[in-house]
Structure 1
Amino acid sequence: MDLCLSSAQQPRRLGQAPRSPGGWVEAEEEATVPEDGTGGPPGDSTKTESSLHSLLKFVPTDYTSYTQEHYWFAGKRIVIQESIESFGAVVWPGATVLCQYLEEHREELNLQDAKVLEMGAGAGLVSIVASILGAQVTATDLPDVLGNLQYNLLKNTLKCTAHLPEVKELAWGEDLEENFPRSTFYYSYVLASDVVYHHYFLDKLLATMEYLSKPGTVVLWANKFRFSTDYEFLDKFKQVFDTTLLAEYPESSVKLFKGTLKWD
């Protein structure tokens, strides 16, 4: 793999090449961790192997066609396997905005060893960038997305990051206490990009954002505003979270918000 190479000058998004969906076997073979743990991320080799095995849970959906999209963030070339056959297998505009913000504000955010959960991680670009910047990432989405998400995370973070990201299923508003018990889970950051569009689960999305937030948790939500329902969600978001507009990109209609849970 050549994904962890640096270069003096690279555009944020580089070219495109066709790809077959059979690449998962190749990635799994290349991802083998030596028995002594050498060559892997810093830390205990047993922990590294355990993290790797926890990542290898899902098989990518067998779409008829994939492409490889190339991005450049945090000093790394990142290759994302995408397919237009699924909303969850494409990198959307809000994701690149959020990645840019994480990169440009790395010192302020202090992601090193921070526990981060991404909602609707999709193809995984945001989770990959957060991992490269040192965070302990849990990337979540629906079951049909997790195989491709896992593939992209593994291909871009193995032997490149201090913490291998974790992949977990998260259906908004469902089985939250069972899968993410409040007594156990705490996240410094909850990340979300382009999770708001014309669907019927916006109330569950907001309830899940609220559930995952504790005192000190920062929600970073980037979204391309397309429909009136997006602005209606923003109004509800502001009722639950103290909200700051961090950045706005009129050319792409993307806005980036910071939210901290309101407390009585």
Structure 2
Amino acid sequence: MTKIPSQERKGKMSVLSLLTMNCNFIKSQISEVLVRGWENYKENVDTAQTVLALALSQYLESNQQEINLKDKKVLEIGAGTGLVSIVASILGAYVTATDLPEVLENLKLNISRNTQNMNTHQPEVRKLVWGEDLNEDFPKSTHHYDFILASDVVYHHTSLDPLLTTMAYLCQPGTVLLWANKFRFSTDFEFLEKLRNILIVTLLAEFPESNIKLFKATYTAFLSRSAS
């Protein structure tokens, strides 16, 4: 497990400085996308959402030996502005970015603009309403993903059980869920405990000063009974 040390500047900006100043990818194309993503979205998007997307994106780029996305099938839950999907696509994955219908137009535009001439495989943007029409829209017989990516999808809302159902459904044998979360509410901890009941959950990295943690979760046999 990687523990990111505290810096003199506490809070969200210390995480951003770690992502954009102290990492070896700063001169790469991916770094340009990350920095551009922060500058473009910080005025219009919840800061926690953006920081968590940056944290997961940086982790993917910095740990390519352990998490090799090249030619892998990747689905992002709650893609929002698409930053994580953009990075996964540049890293060579077959990306499916999902979110609510009203988000898809902007999501598709962001991904298209930021992956043009940099991706190996054309990213796909699809509707995914948590807990709804999973068997119809993502039948397990034809939709198996190597990685499920999620950042800041757990917060103080009423869709946590449908989100849990969706994660459980998508995590088949061989699938790895990578989830970045900022722990702010009791619901965050409650969701983590529920997730541990159906998947094998491991802490990969954390930013202690900001209560941000990155988790890895994989299929367990209990899933076939609880999420079918």
TM-score range, shorter chain: 0.7 to 0.9
Larger helix proportion of the pair: 2
Of the three residues 230, 239, 257, the one matched with 2:188 is: 230
Aligned residue for 1:238, secondary structure, equals helix
The change in CA–CA distance for 1:202 and 1:112 in structure 2 (over 3 A counts) is same
The alignment's TM-score, normalised by the length of structure 2, stands at 0.80
Alpha-carbon distance change, 200 to 92 in structure 1, aligned in 2, over 3 angstroms? same
Q: 1:144 aligns with which of 65, 80, 102?
A: 102
Look up the match of 1:75.
Answer: 29
Equivalent residues of 2:89, 2:123 under 8 A apart: yes
Any conservation in 2 of the 1:138–1:166 contact (CA below 8 Å)?
A: yes
Whether 1:199 and 2:157 are equivalent positions in the alignment is yes
Q: Distance in 1 between matches of 2:153 and 2:45?
A: 14
TM-score (normalised: structure 1): 0.70
Q: 1:185 to 1:116 in 2, by over 3 A?
A: same
Question: Contact 1:150 / 1:167 at 8 angstroms: preserved in 2?
Answer: yes
Q: 1:132 aligns with which of 78, 90, 93?
A: 90
- Answer yes or no: is the 8 Å Cα contact 1:74–1:132 preserved in 2: no
Q: Deviations over 1:129-173 (max 9, x none)?
A: 101110000000011211111111000111111012100010000
RMSD: 2.3
Q: 1:177 to 1:223 in 2, by over 3 A?
A: same
1:100 to 2:54 alignment: no
Equivalent residue pairs, number: 198
Q: Which of the residues 60, 63, 76 maps onto 1:118?
A: 76
**Which one has a larger percent strand, Structure 1 or Structure 2?**
1
Match of 1:242 among 193, 200, 208: 200
Q: Is contact 2:148-2:176 (8 Å) kept?
A: yes
TM superposition shift of 1:85? 5.5
Distance in 1 of aligned mates of 2:26 and 2:98: 23
Q: Distance in 2 between matches of 1:191 and 1:74?
A: 22
Would the aligned equivalents of 1:98 and 1:222 in 2 still touch at CA under 8 Å? yes
Distance 2:105 2:193 in 1: 34
Unpaired segments of 5 or more residues in structure 1?
Answer: 1-9, 15-70
Structure of larger gyration radius? 1
Which amino acid letter does the alignment assign opposite residue 146 of structure 1? L
Unaligned 5+ runs, structure 2: 1-16, 223-228
Which one of 135, 149, 167 corresponds to residue 177 of structure 1? 135
Separation of aligned partners in 2, 1:106 and 1:230: 28
> Does 1 or 2 have the higher relative contact order (CA < 8 Å, sep 6+)?
2
